[in-house]
Amino acid sequence: MAAEDAGRGADLVVRLADAAATEELGALLARTLPEAGRCRAVLFFGELGAGKTTLIRGLVAALPGGAAAEVSSPSFNLCNLYPTEPEVAHFDLYRLEGMCADESLLEALDGDGAFGTGAGRPPLVLVEWAERLAPDCAPEHGLEVHLSPDGAGRRARLCAVGDAALWLAALFRAADRSGGRLDIQSIKD
């Protein structure tokens, strides 16, 4: 196993034909969240326009309270909090290239229940432009979502770190039952 794969449980590759399929993958992440164990962080990687915010929009909309959330990329204010259950802290690190992460992000990634406005429970932390996060700041239990162009659509590679392997397995089962809307290309244990 390569050094960069240490601690990973599984990878899942999904072909996303369009924005609707990207939002559906987000919705599946929300529906399978109870299987996430200690995983409370999803790190999104990809070029500008790769579909990070679209996927997050689908995830947040599928959570209880998501209808009240106006999901947009928090590029200028760095963090948006959404009134969902669980609460979502949506970070965007686009403007932080070469800079240290904000203390609130480090606190959220650390699973500190004091972050956000919830009742002492850690929020679900979604981080766009996670490639700009220092490697030593990455959570012990997290899901990485790498988005890239694939013809007219997108390719999503989901990589589990720590307990996120349980979440990824639940996601695979749910995607397999989704009626073919998501094109699962491969899974690696």
Per-domain residue ranges for the chain? 9-162
Domain 9-162 in CATH 2.40.50.140? The answer is no
Q: Considering only CA atoms, which of 100, 88, 91, 59 is closest in space to residue 73?
A: 91
Q: Which pLDDT value is given to residue 105? A: 66
Q: Report helix, strand and coil shares of the chain as percent, to nearest 5.
A: 35, 30, 40
Q: Which pLDDT value is given to residue 180? A: 64
DSSP track, 79-107: EEEE--SS-EEEEE-GGGTTSPPPHHHHH
Q: What is the mean pLDDT of each run of 10 residues along the chain (189 residues)?
A: 47 92 94 83 94 96 94 78 91 71 62 54 86 81 93 93 85 77 75
- pTM confidence score: 0.85
Q: Which pLDDT value is given to residue 72? A: 87
